[in-house]
Amino acid sequence: MSFLQQLERGNYVQSNGPHECGHIVVLFKKRRLIGLDFLPHEQALDGAKGVFETATVELSKEDCVALAAGLVGELVCVGQYDSQRILDDRNKVKEIVGQPLEDFVLEAYAVIQDNLLFFALLNIQVQQKMLALLNHVFSLSDEDYGKLPARIAVITLAEIERVYEQAQSTLDGFSPQSGAL
C-alpha cells in the first residue's frame, strides 16, 4: 500500500469514526444499539466500495437525535462535517419526520457532551478497529474480497458496553469522595 493510500485511509477513518461514534453513543444511551458493522459489498453514496453502518433496531422518530449525532461527532473531532457523509442521515430524518436534520443537532450535542469521555474512548477504539479492518479487506484480491460475508462486525454491543463501563469507572474515580481532585 502506498503512502498516499495510507494517508487517505487514515483521513477517512478520522472523520468517519467520530460520525459513527456519534450515532453509537446516542443509540447506546437509548438502548437501541446493536453494534457497528462493515458492509463490504455495499457502495457508499460517493461510489466508494464498502460502507460502515451503525446497526440498530428499525429506525423511528426517536432515532432522529442519533442520526444528527453523526454530524455532531464529526464537528467535535474534526471541527467540520462532511455534507456528503450526512446526506443519508439527512434523508432518513426527512423521511421519518419530515424535518431537517439540524432540528436534532442540539439535543445530539447535549447527549455527546454528557457522555464525552465515553464518546472519546469509543472513538479511539472504533478508529483502530476500522483502520485494521480496512487495511485487511483492501489487501485482499478481488476474488477473496468477493467471498467476504455481507456484514462484518467492527465493534459489538458487548465491547461498547465495556468502553462505557471504563468511562464510568474513570469518572467515578474523580468523585468528590475519592479526593482525586
Reported as a single tens digit per residue, the pLDDT across 28-41 is 999 999 999 999 99
Concatenated DSSP letters for 9-34? HHHHHHHHHHHHHHHHHHHHHTT-EE
Q: Give the start-to-end residue ranges of the domains of the chain.
A: 9-171
Beta-strand ranges (E) seen in the chain are 33-43, 49-56, 152-156
Does the pLDDT of residue 181 top 80, yes or no?
no
- Domain 9-171, what fold? Methane Monooxygenase Hydroxylase; Chain G, domain 1 (1.20.58)
Q: Average pLDDT over the chain, rounded to whole?
A: 92
* The pLDDT of residue 39: 95
pTM for this model (two decimals): 0.91
Pick the closest to residue 18 from 68, 82, 74, 81 (CA basis): 74
Whole-number Å distance between alpha carbons of 18 and 65? 15
Whole-number Å distance between alpha carbons of 109 and 86? 15
Sequence-ordered list of residues with C-beta below 8 angstroms from that of 79, at least 6 positions apart, any chain: none
Q: Which of 39-53, 99-113, 126-140 has the lowest mean pLDDT?
A: 39-53
What are the b/e assignments for 27-45, b being 16+ CB within 10 Å? bbbeebbebbbbbbeeeee
Q: Please list the helix, strand and coil fractions of the chain in percent, rounded to the nearest 5, in that order.
A: 65, 15, 25
Name the amino acid, one letter, at 61.
K
Reported as a single tens digit per residue, the pLDDT across 67-123 is 999 999 999 999 999 888 899 999 999 999 999 999 999 999 999 999 999 999 999
